[in-house]
Chain A
């Protein structure tokens, strides 16, 4: 069952990712990215990360992608004109891509012990209680630092928007 779910979610994720790169219109790319994020949330559930799966749906697919689609529709610049690519990129790009994926796969298979298997239910400490406990004890200082980061980001966005109004 895990195998079937993994393959379905992985193929949806890879197909949507390829669609993201190949679509000419940004809004199609944004919808594909939402597909990638939702299938990744399913994979997180298979890995026992319940809290992160919920946060992935709410924060990524909900907040960030709505912001993206909002800006795309606000600007409404239409499809991207076909780019010019030199011969090196056109004929060598795809083979080099496969070489990179193959190298990464070989290294990963050799480094990670093959006895490690993902069975649903073997790792259950990914709920909100465990994540919150660790977040507010061991990682409380980085957590506070991210609040400062969010504040700075809000101020930066407001300053940029004000500059736009002038």
Chain B
């Protein structure tokens, strides 16, 4: 139990966790068909990148990574506002949220 209680966590484990979360988000982005779920997978990927920014910030003992994470949060909030407005408009016009059926730009 000494291993569990006294040693610190290697910084690469945080980065590997970030990579796992990013990969799960990317796979969900590819396999899901509901546009809201796809949007939530994008948020998951943004969160994974935030975790690696904070880890690198700890590694170099600098606060700059925290600032970048703060900006990512602001951009995610703006993106959520505009994206959900677009989703509402699409549902109003097309009556569906399945991205297979929203292919107006295809032809």
Q: Which A residue sits closest to B79, measured CB to CB?
A: A153
* A50 CB, nearest partner CB in chain B, Å: 10
Task: Count A-B pairs with CB separation below 8 Å.
Answer: 230
Cβ of A92: which chain B residues have Cβ within 8 Å of it? none
On whether the beta carbons of B15 and A112 are closer than 8 Å, the reply is yes
CA distance A74 to B19 in the complex (A): 33
Chain A interface residue count, Cβ-Cβ cutoff 8 angstroms: 81
| Nearest A residue (CB) for B35 | A26
A125, B63: Cβ atoms closer than 8 Å:
yes
B59 and A105 contacting across the interface, CB-CB below 8 Å: no
Given A21-B27, A67-B81; 17 other pairs, CB 8 A cutoff: A14-B17, A17-B21, A17-B24, A20-B41, A21-B28, A26-B34, A29-B37, A33-B44, A36-B47, A56-B73, A68-B80, A75-B88, A83-B31, A108-B15, A118-B8, A118-B14, A135-B67
Could you list which residues of chain B lie within 8 angstroms of chain A, going by C-beta atoms?
A: 3-5, 7-17, 19-21, 23-25, 27-28, 31-34, 36-37, 39-41, 43-44, 47, 50-51, 54-55, 57-59, 61, 63-64, 66-67, 69-71, 73-82, 84-89, 91-92, 96-98
Which 3 residue pairs across A and B have the least CB separation, nearest first?
Answer: A117-B8, A153-B78, A21-B28
